Amino acid sequence: MHLNASAPSPLVRSRLRTLLLAGTAVLVLVGGLLLAWPERAGAAADPLISLGKPATASSVETSSLGAKNAFDGDPATRWASAEGKDPQWIRVDLGTSATVSRVRLRWEAAYAKAYRVEVSADGASWTPIATETAGNGGTDDWIGLSGKGRYLRVHGTARGTSYGYSLYEAEVYGSLDGGPPPGGAFTVVAAGDIAAQCTASDSGCAHPKTAALAQRIDPKFYLTMGDNQYDDARLSDFRAYYDKSWGAFKAKTRPVPGNHETYDPAGSLAGYKAYFGSIAFPQGKSWYSYDEGNWHFIALDSNSFDQAAQIDWLKADLAANNKKCVAAYWHHPLFSSGGHGNDPVSKPVWKILYAAKADLVLGGHDHHYERFAPQDPDGRATADGIVEIVGGMGGADPYPIEEVQPNSQKRISGPYGVVKLEFTDSGYGWTYVATDGQVKDTSPKYSCH
């Protein structure tokens, strides 16, 4: 048995290696360790809290080597990432906030030479609770940890082989804090096309009003569907305008960029990235995904739909998803009755989502509100189709309705407002709420595919 207790208190780091010792010797040794390090005794007593919980990963080598395999309790199954690429990660949703005291990792031959064990309350901001810099595979047992969060991630930064990362099992021990169970109902506020170059001192400025409405609703989190800041989305403009309104709840916002974020003289998305930081780039790209309850959310960058990297990532992300319900959002909608009209740049992405039985997509770009009946990527109404919402009334000047598209069920141009979405374990619905608090539209109730 190899012990290493050199890490600073209160973290006691232990690496437990498999030894072929007589049963009596093992019992004596373990008993001595528990007496010498009381923290270890407490950690060893904590229950396993990750078994069977939803898991996602940055990539998978094949669909049969998905992230859930590392949390299924079966020593014969495993997760494997794409080969030859750093970094990679695997994470588990514990369902509610938890105090983590121990993490046990059983590596396949493709192990991590360097990695971090991290926890997060929201799946966006991560705190390391253990760090390995000279891993050699086998079994790593981190005991005496002190971490708190709903999500736990193993973030590999250097492979130990030329292959990828692969875990037979990742076991998380600790105590659940008694919060809401996974999959419960929750509310989300969504809007696009938000911060014109004005502030609340201007009575005609709309984005402070939509921000005040959004904050009163107090959702689980906020989605923005691009063009967050006008006109060129410089960092100085984000600070002068967006930050004075929607910035009040930036930490709870899950944004995507629009075309105006690409106009920045400092470089495409420069101000957007500098302002939002890891909130908008939690996986190192301008596209990412996360889970809430029984839902998988996919945030995409429609400025880059012609990039194979995003398309390949999307396919892998959907293949690894184990949630029943799927929502995706980006800036340029495939279907719209506004001035920009239908944007075919989104059609390949719609085809991928439709094949994966996704439920809902949201967009902006056209400055109006609109909802569509379920339809396929070719615009044919079908019960198993995707529902689309255009929600571009966050604060920029409204656009008129120009050519009503097939399957468009409701269109509103003029009253600024936000989309208030209500999600459950098995379905969803929403209202469009104007800045005066009046509900201007109520959707049907939909069940997940």
Tens digits of pLDDT across the chain (449 residues): 333 333 444 343 344 333 333 343 433 333 443 333 333 333 446 899 999 899 999 999 998 999 999 998 888 999 999 999 999 999 999 988 999 999 999 999 999 999 999 999 988 889 999 999 999 999 999 999 999 999 999 999 999 999 999 999 999 999 988 644 444 689 999 999 999 999 999 999 999 999 999 999 999 999 999 999 999 999 999 999 999 999 999 999 999 999 999 999 999 999 999 999 999 999 999 999 999 999 999 999 999 999 999 999 999 999 999 999 999 999 999 999 999 999 999 999 999 999 999 999 999 999 999 999 999 999 999 999 999 999 999 999 999 999 999 999 999 999 999 999 999 988 999 999 999 999 999 999 999 99
Structural domain includes residue 3: no
Q: Are residues 196 and 172 in the same domain?
A: no
The CATH number for 66's domain is 2.60.120.260
Distances (CA, A) of 258 to 166, 280, 321: 36, 12, 26
Q: Are residues 326 and 205 in the same domain?
A: yes
Q: Are residues 136 and 221 in the same domain?
A: no
Q: Are residues 159 and 201 in the same domain?
A: no
Instruction: Name the pairing type of β-strands 417-423 and 427-434.
Output: antiparallel
Choose the final residue of a domain: 176, 199, 232. Answer: 176
H or E stretch at 318: helix 308-320
Torsion over CA: 69, 70, 73, 78 (sign): positive
The CATH number for 356's domain is 3.60.21.10
**Nearest CA among 175, 126, 427, 449 for reference residue 293:** 427
pTM for the model stands at 0.63
**Nearest CA among 110, 155, 117, 149 for reference residue 15:** 117
Question: DSSP string spanning 412-435?
Answer: E-SS-EEEEEEE-SSEEEEEEEET
Q: Are residues 74 and 122 in the same domain?
A: yes
Q: Are residues 223 and 87 in the same domain?
A: no
Structural domain includes residue 334: yes
Q: Are residues 128 and 229 in the same domain?
A: no
Q: Are residues 158 and 191 in the same domain?
A: no
* 111: Cα separation from own chain's centroid: 25
Task: Find the farthest-apart pair of alpha carbons in the chain and give their distance in angstroms, rounded.
Answer: 82
Domain that holds residue 429: 186-447
* 265: Cα separation from own chain's centroid: 29
Q: Are residues 209 and 265 in the same domain?
A: yes
CA distance 425 to 414: 34
Q: Are residues 325 and 198 in the same domain?
A: yes
Choose the final residue of a domain: 156, 176, 196. Answer: 176
Q: Residue for token digits 């005609």? A: 204
In DSSP terms, 56 is beta-bridged to 91
Q: Are residues 55 and 202 in the same domain?
A: no
Structural domain includes residue 355: yes
CA distance 145 to 206: 48
Structural domain includes residue 7: no
Choose the final residue of a domain: 126, 155, 176. Answer: 176
**Nearest CA among 101, 166, 169, 157 for reference residue 131:** 157
Instruction: Name the pairing type of β-strands 79-80 and 166-176.
Output: antiparallel
Structural domain includes residue 436: yes
**Nearest CA among 193, 188, 429 for reference residue 332:** 193
Structural domain includes residue 101: yes
Total of domains in the chain: 2
Amino acid at 357: K
Structural domain includes residue 425: yes
Structural domain includes residue 256: yes
